[in-house]
Structure 1
């Protein structure tokens, strides 16, 4: 398992399974409106590895790890994480939390052992250890979804509307909700209100356009910023570095 890879998850709805092996230095993790369930062997410092949750971020996080540490994550589509994890998303905002703080200890120990077993035996399975661990995480999440109420159906339309640059007021009207109620339901589902979620989604839309080679001035217009200066301010505020440096880091 090397570099970064991802694939669509059996959970559907935009959830993905991803894998990464740590290199030297820190990795900049950008806000994306999602919550992740992650297993890592921490470079071998924990015999069975550990499971933790990365909550929805409002700013970029710098993640440092020993070179060679392996990570396998299940990144839930916006609004899906609370149904699996059992807590409102805003309780995890900008946090990294052991799974044992959210689920009963016995359940986490069983899952940790199962995941570690998949990691050890996965060399003989299709896709190797990373794929085996990913399948174990998916199985655990699917089991939780079978027990939990379904995600708020209104909020899929909220994500779609904000991703297309619609205003919060317009999205609230389309959802049949007042703005205050939309804000409360968004906090529970996404970790922050619709205005912040819109900023996060717009940032990621702009980065996709910039990585495709579109000039920054055109990126600003296409992504819905007032102008290039507005784009530059938002990138520096949310990512912590200028856009050109951010692209170089991810290139």
Structure 2
């Protein structure tokens, strides 16, 4: 049961862990928060190998069709030394509708308004929603708010604030009854729309965590290597093997 929660949380944390650089920003126009499940470039397959120092290692094998949509994803993690295969379902416009792991009694469902993703939900085999993430947008289709709801915990809302070039985004993670911010995150990006720095502040405005990212890019501006540092110390490393058409 723990795996399906990790799946939905990994989707939510795409803006944090910089994994979503390979996706086009068509459904959620926030840097690092794309969910369209399409690659930037014409790829046949990609291997994504991430090691979190002292904790875990996970490897994804992605396969793509001629429209650059993911058609296969095999994931192996050191957490339980198990292999999970995902099935993807799309509508005629190419929007991802469902993502289903083969060994779990849940699937992730996506609903849209045009190209804007409105809901990302984890649904069990009885059709009950376990986790729901919903989005509201500004007129230019950039995300205004992200609302997270879980059956067993209090609903939380994150609000996004942008600079003129969207190179710096501040995310407010809720506030108390007096309007005081509980925590916030400042996201900064490089020229290829990948996070270069992420600073997490507590309710006193003090820095709690600071993540920085270093990349090695290929000619298609997809990274082949990413090193993540937390508070100045190496935290994780991701290496990729990409085959283009």
Q: Shared fold (TM-score greater than 0.5)? A: no
> What's the TM-score once normalised by structure 1's chain length?
0.30
Hey, which of these two has a bigger chunk of helix by percent?
1
Larger radius of gyration: 1
Hey, which of these two has a bigger chunk of strand by percent?
2
